[in-house]
Amino acid sequence: MPNDQTQIQDPTTQYFNGDYPNQEQPAPGLQSKMSPVPDCGEKTYVGRERLTGRKALVTGGDSGIGRAAAIAFAREGADVAINYLPEEQEDADQVKALIEQAGRRAILIPGDICEEAFARELVQRAVQELGGLDIMALVAGKQTAVTRIADLTSEQFQRTYATNVFALFWITQEAIPHLKPGASIITTSSIEAYQPNPNLLDYASTKAAIMNYSRGLAKQVAEKGIRVNIVAPGPIWTVLQVTGGQTQEVIPSFGQPTPMKRAGQPAEVAPVYVYLASQESSYVTAEVHGVTGGYHCG
């Protein structure tokens, strides 16, 4: 796989574009046990000091898109706190090491953001241990495929909403008083908000809710100098996919229906988070940024 991001390359072959091996893990799973292991920019992301001295909180920062964003933030000069479930400690320890290799502080805060008390505590701990908060990348999510509505339990539906939507409310409400002008909140929607998969009724509808909530919040806090934007990934190869996020028959050809004929890698999403966290996007708020391999957001 090419490692030099400064050279022009064919994007259809730049990353893995074959069939994925069948594989399954119990949720929440570990990225380190996937085949192939997702590329989160560990060997490729080169920082350019765009976030020097800033303090970032990333939910879902142990793996996938959150991991890629955390690595990129650190290499751009930010100290980073990451949240993850305790079962994901192995992956989180790897991210901590990568952040520290970039010369930045890494704060690990395990816990379940489905629980309101912890979600609010997460913000307070991040503020206290980082010494403030300038960037929030809210990436953590729950995705479990269910082919028939008759089999979609109330428990799953409620937990998906608690993880993807309620936690977003608790965390942003708790954080707003601590954010100064210039701060950036970046939420994570999905192509599913526009083109819902019939197997993902609960997940897809939360992604639409995230988009709407984020746009409304952006307009509410703009006068405070706080920006809120949304990233909407398409099919990205992460541990969500192999822990029930896709049905098993989909795994080998995951991402191939896109115009680019392959799934994306987390490393391809991280630069959008960096852009939205930086002053380069100073006049950008309430916007959705798709990273979809050719699917349309809108």
Q: Give 264's DSSP letter.
A: B
Measure the CA–CA gap between 35 and 21, rounded to whole angstroms: 7
Measure the CA–CA gap between 188 and 213, rounded to whole angstroms: 11
Measure the CA–CA gap between 212 and 209, rounded to whole angstroms: 5
Measure the CA–CA gap between 30 and 142, rounded to whole angstroms: 14
Q: Does an H or E element contain 184, and which?
A: strand 184-188
Measure the CA–CA gap between 22 and 233, rounded to whole angstroms: 23
With CA atoms as reference, report the closest residue to 234 among 280, 167, 288: 288
User: Annotated catalytic, 20?
Assistant: no
With CA atoms as reference, report the closest residue to 245 among 188, 153, 160: 160
Beta bridge mates, 137: 58, 186
Sign of the four-CA dihedral 283, 287, 293, 295: negative
- By three-state DSSP, how is residue 55 classified? strand
Residue owning tokens 């816990």: 111
Out of 15, 203, 213, 295, which one is annotated catalytic?
Answer: 203
Q: List residues with catalytic annotation.
A: 203
